[in-house]
Structures are given as structure tokens and as C-alpha cells.
Copies of this chain bind each other. A is one copy, B any other.
Amino acid sequence: MVLLTHRQQRADRILDAAARLFARYGYDKTTVDEIAREAGVAKGTLYLHWSGKEALAEALLYREVRRVIEDFLQRLEADPEGGTIGSIYRHSLLATFANPFVRAVLTSDNQVLGDYLRRLGPDYDQIRFEAARALVERMQAAGLVRTDLRPEAIAYLLTMLSLGLASAGTLIPAAIAPPPDEVAIALADVVQRGLAPEGGGDREAGKRFVRAYLAEVIRRYEQLRGLRKDADDGQPSDSG
């Protein structure tokens, strides 16, 4: 049983309000006053939880990404066929689409996080590509991905798919586009046929790999940010 302090509950309510407003109007055009009003607290209260608007956005993004990861892992574990590159891709897409905020971030031209993401700098894309390359390399070593293509090339393809998914989401009206779940399933099937090694890959090794990889990503991030799983919402020690 999970106990939530009054303080933590309030922090969550504020993040809920921020998530709605960011998703609808974007980070830049959402004011701190509006977040406070939507959450039913005074503006000063936000500053009792986070050091500023930026720290709040970071906390929100962290919370939602954690939720998506949890959802993703549950779907993967529940799937007896799970563990291949295709099923990993499929479940990650479905978990992402199921989260309104993260989905908005990834499909709304990134206005949702506006200035916040912009501060990561122009090097961010390079870093992300290098991370993708390293991930592919490890997936190849784990027997999840075919090894007759260079990891650079596969990472480039996967990056293209992410970017294309985002662009298509903003460009093609939802009215004429096929339902997201159908896209996710078709896309994952193509990824499986196109990137899996002969025989489809080792399912158990795949699940182990995903668990270990995500745990490592989370651990690194929390180490970087000085967060712990049992910490509260984060006293204003973060100076943006």
C-alpha cells in the first residue's frame, strides 16, 4: 500500500493541471498563474514545491515518462510473445500513445514543451542520435537486432521513424489517418520483419535486456538529478 502525504497529493494535482495546460496551450503560452488557478492553489504554493516553472515542467515530464515506462513494461511482461524487437517497438508505441501528455509532446510539433526543450541546446539531437546508436549496438549484441547492417544505419532508420511519427501526427489530420493503434501494430510488424535477426530473436533475452536497460536509464537520470524513488515531489533545491 502506497501512502501519499497531503503535500505529495497536492504536488500531483498541480502536475495534473500543468499537464492539461501544457498539452493544450504549450509550455510558453501557459502561465504560472493559470497552472495555480487550474490546480486550485495560490501561485506562491507552486514555489513551495519547485524552484520555478522550468523545474515544474521537468518534474512533470519525469513523472509522465516514468508512467509510460511502467505501462510499457507491464504490457511487455503480459505478452507471451513479447521480447522480440517488433513487440518491444509495438508495446512502447502503444504505451506512449496511451499517455495523453507524452503523446502530445511527441506529436504536437514540440510546442508543448517549447522553451523548456529549447534550452537543451542544439547539441541535443546529436546526443540523442549517439544514444540511439549505442542502444542499437547493445541490442545487436543481445541478439535482438540483425547484425548485417551497421548500428549507425539502423539508428538512423529508427530516428527517422520517430521523427516521421511526430511529423505525420501534426501533418495528417486525425480524421483521415488510420487509428494510432493500427499504425503502431503495422509499424511494429514492419520493424520486426525488417530488423529482427533470423528466427525473430530470443524473447527472454529481449525482456531481460529491456528491463536492464530501462533500469539503467532511470538510475542514471536520478543520479544526475539527485532524485530517489522514495523522495517526495522535490523541495525547491532545483534552481532550473
Contacts and interface: CB of A to CB of B under 8 A. Distances in A.
A186 B195 CA distance: 10
Nearest to A163: B167
Nearest to A177: B156
Interface stretch (A44-52, A70-78, A94-102, A125-133): A125-133
Given A182-B153, A190-B194, A194-B193, A168 B177 contact: no
Contacts of A168: 156, 159-160, 163
Q: How many copies does the complex hold?
A: 2
A172 interface: yes
A182 B182 CA distance: 30
Is chain A's interface secondary structure helix, strand, loop, or mixed overall?
A: helix
Given A163-B168, A194-B194, 14 more contacts: A126-B172, A126-B176, A129-B177, A150-B178, A153-B183, A156-B177, A157-B186, A157-B187, A157-B190, A161-B164, A164-B164, A164-B167, A166-B167, A190-B195
